[in-house]
Structure 1
Amino acid sequence: MPARQRHDPITLGLHWLIALLIAAAYAASALVEDGPGGSWAMTLHGSLGLLVFGLSLLRILWRGLAPHPAPVPMAPMMARLAHFAHVALYVTMVAAPALGLAALWTRGQGISLFWLFSLPSPLASHRGLAEFLGGAHELAANGLVALAGLHAAAAIFHQYVLRDHTLERMVPGGDAK
């Protein structure tokens, strides 16, 4: 696929790194809830979430600055759905970690970034608000994973059913045929 029809290397790198971090943070959350990992898993989950948050903000900024490849021709309704799905992905990529951080902070807890340094809570402890924010975080995270799954399924559908080369634009290294 010609370079002008592909996303730039920074967009590609951020896309796949954020996807990997989201999957890892989601997996770490299962250790927090189910396993004996306790605080270790929570630190890992929170650290990965902070990276998702920061890199997602960077991705949104870069999206506004980077040149875009020409749009893939598609039916207007499909184009609107794709746009809505992308907006929903970006919103949840920022909202899920932000809600998680707010939930921790309203519990009066700080957050450690990979055991290197800690961000103490700037907020007063408020149990009811912390529970609400924790639930909102879980809902946003589950929504994010569901949206990411739909996004991947749509890319595969475009590539192998519609054969419009959509997936090739985002796969590192060239053609995805």
Structure 2
Amino acid sequence: MGSAQFDLGFVLTGLVVALFIWRRADGRDLPVEDPGPLHRLAKATHAALYVLLQAIVGLGIVNAFVRGVSLGPVSLPQLGDPEWRWALTHWHGLAANVLMALALFHAVAALVHHYLWHDAVLLCMLPRRS
């Protein structure tokens, strides 16, 4: 893995941290359209998206330390067994692929709400107008 990939990974980590802070501080909960099984599926999907984001970030940071990469002017110390590199890279990539598949499912579900069920779920996700 090149240093540029780790640089990008740490930039994306900053964005994920900002997302979590925003979601806790100023995020909003959407009204429940269907309190039944679809609502539980939506909650589980959102939870899985957040768990996968945290797993990807955590595995990426550990991988960077195991490799002892340089991030611009900062060099991380090489910690841990170098034999962990393959496993960490594998699990990091697997979690990222599962996240992409789940994000696709999430996007399709939003489009189904909008175009097939004609409810306001997708419109509620848009930023509020002043």
TM range (shorter): 0.7 to 0.9
CA distance in structure 2 between the partners assigned to 1:90 and 1:168 by the alignment: 22
CA distance in structure 1 between the partners assigned to 2:111 and 2:85 by the alignment: 39
Mapped pair 1:56 → 2:16: yes
Pair 1:85–1:61, CA change in 2 (3 A): same
Q: What amino acid is the match of 1:141? A: A
Give, in angstroms, the shift of residue 75 of structure 1. 4.0
1:156 aligned partner:
111
Gaps of 5+ in 2: none
> Residues 75-154 of structure 1 correspond to what in structure 2 (within 5 A)?
75-110=35-70, 112=71, 117-154=72-109
Gaps of 5+ in 1: 1-31, 33-38
Residues 66 and 82, structure 2, Cα contact 8 Å, conserved in 1: yes
Q: What amino acid is the match of 1:167? A: L
Residues 106 and 121, structure 1, Cα contact 8 Å, conserved in 2: no
CA distance in structure 2 between the partners assigned to 1:148 and 1:73 by the alignment: 20
Query: Could you tell me the percent identity over the aligned residues?
Result: 33
- How many residue pairs align between the two structures? 129
Structure 1 residue ranges, 4+ long, deviating more than 3 angstroms after superposition: 171-174
1:98-121 deviation per Cα after TM superposition (whole angstroms, max 9, x unaligned): 3123213212323x2xxxx34422
Give, in angstroms, the shift of residue 127 of structure 1. 2.2
Q: What amino acid is the match of 1:169? A: C
1:14-50 deviation per Cα after TM superposition (whole angstroms, max 9, x unaligned): xxxxxxxxxxxxxxxxxx6xxxxxx4xx50x323322
TM-score, with length taken from structure 2: 0.82
CA distance in structure 2 between the partners assigned to 1:154 and 1:139 by the alignment: 23
Give, in angstroms, the shift of residue 76 of structure 1. 1.6
1:114-156 deviation per Cα after TM superposition (whole angstroms, max 9, x unaligned): xxx3442234252222221111101111111111111111110
Residues 57 and 94, structure 1, Cα contact 8 Å, conserved in 2: no
CA distance in structure 1 between the partners assigned to 2:16 and 2:78 by the alignment: 24
Mapped pair 1:68 → 2:28: yes
CA distance in structure 2 between the partners assigned to 1:121 and 1:143 by the alignment: 28
Pair 1:63–1:128, CA change in 2 (3 A): same
